[in-house]
Amino acid sequence: MILTAVLAMLALTGFSLSWSSMPSQSGNPGSVEVTALISEDDLLAVSQNGGTLVFYEITATVDGEGFLRRTGRITDSSFPISEVLVYNSLESGGHIVSVALKDLESGAVSRREVEIFIDSSNGTLWSSGGVRISPDGSVRASGYVNLSWSVYTPEGEEIPAGAYALLDRATDVVREGWLSSERIDEDQGVVYYSADVPLRGLGKGRYRFTVAALQDENVVASSSSSIRLLESWDIWGDDADETETLIRPIASAHELRELERAGGLGDRNSVMADFWTKRDLNPATRENEYLESYLIRLDLISRDFSTTGIRGINTDRGVVYAKMGEPDIVRDFPFEPGYYHPYITWDYFTPYLSLTFVDQDGYGFYEMVEGWDVVDRAFNAREEWSL
């Protein structure tokens, strides 16, 4: 498709730079956002506390001035990394942004330069604002996000078509479509674009939106921004077995039987809608706070309790965390040869519950010492979870 081909030209790989600017208007200076996109090949990961981390520093200047510095320390699973550098009070015209990426572990330094342009919105030049994503930050990979963007058109030019593409970490286009021109300010020569982009079916991780204004298949303005997607989790019955696995810690035997007996996808969705509605702590609000809290628990369970060949939700700690949430006190007693098996204790204050998890083999698989009846009594004693 022409749309894919045009937008793919705007995609960048490795340590690379992209930018979007706001034009100067009525004598007021403009601004630019420069995004440094860092790939896993740019940094050396080191082992620390059972995981792998990267350490880096970014420095940047515009025309040799306006020094900015950023440092980062993140897990290597968070790639690609986006660092946004903002420069304000820039006069119209061309500027050179110089960015250096230093790997603080190896000492290696990579440098990139990009020429940016601050247009003057005087009716003779193409320019655009930055693309905005709502909601921004970390978003669950379900439902939609809204894109909004503005383009300044020269006098006498036709309104260009607006397009978007969502690219994954490999810079493959996973979503694409057209932007609608929601509003046109003819006096200022501004076109306001927007689009609702579906996220369902996408995996967790970092993605990048690129938007472009097209005339005769040529890009006359563009902008880009990144977004982090969280695991969607099938808690609605799309896959009956998967949903049962995820809700088993908090579901009653009757509710599990209802899910098993549901005749099809529509029936399963209905059963699960009732399931989560019962647990809504504040039905007067739009959000189901219990559901949102449980999805966050599933994120943590998957990240912290999964072991080789065993999903976090199928471990003893995963089940307890799904039921009870974060312990009030956690004590970790590491391996001491010839004396202890490694073990961890969790204490909850309300209702009081003290649990011990022992790693019998020293490979990180912790089994609970206490019986499940103790956990179930504490779980059922919480008034906000009584059905």
pLDDT tens digit sequence for 232-245: 999 999 999 999 99
Summarize the confidence of residues 328-336 as an average pLDDT.
Answer: 87
Q: Look at residue 12 and tell me whether its pLDDT is greater than 50.
A: no
Higher pLDDT, 84 or 320: 320
pLDDT at 385: 46
**pTM for the whole structure:** 0.65
Mapping DSSP to helix (H, G, I), strand (E, B) and coil, where does residue 275 land? helix
User: How far apart, in whole angstroms, are the C-alpha atoms of residue 5 and residue 256?
Assistant: 48
Max mean pLDDT range (42-56, 97-111, 249-263): 249-263
183 burial class (0-12, 13-18, 19+ CB within 10 angstroms)?
A: exposed
* H helix or E strand, kind and range, residue 205: strand 205-215
pLDDT at 13: 43
- Assign domain 2-230 one CATH number from 2.60.40.10, 3.10.110.10, 3.90.550.10, 3.40.50.150: 2.60.40.10
The tens digit of pLDDT for each residue in 339-387 reads: 578 899 999 998 999 999 999 887 888 999 999 999 999 999 875 544 4
Summarize the confidence of residues 182-193 as an average pLDDT.
Answer: 76
Summarize the confidence of residues 188-198 as an average pLDDT.
Answer: 88
* Average pLDDT across the chain, whole number: 85
Assess contact for 25 and 17: CB atoms under 8 A. no
pLDDT at 336: 66
The domain limits of the chain are: 2-230, 233-278, 294-385
The tens digit of pLDDT for each residue in 198-231 reads: 998 899 988 989 899 998 888 888 888 888 899 9
Higher pLDDT, 382 or 338: 382
Q: What is the DSSP pairing of strand 51-62 with strand 343-348?
A: unpaired
113 pLDDT band, cuts 50/70/90, is confident
3-state helix/strand/coil string of 109-162: EEEEEEEEEECECCCCCCEECCCEEECCCEEECCCEEEEEEEEECCCCCCCCEE
Q: Look at residue 325 and tell me whether its pLDDT is greater than 90.
A: yes
Least confident range of 25-39, 213-227, 325-339: 25-39
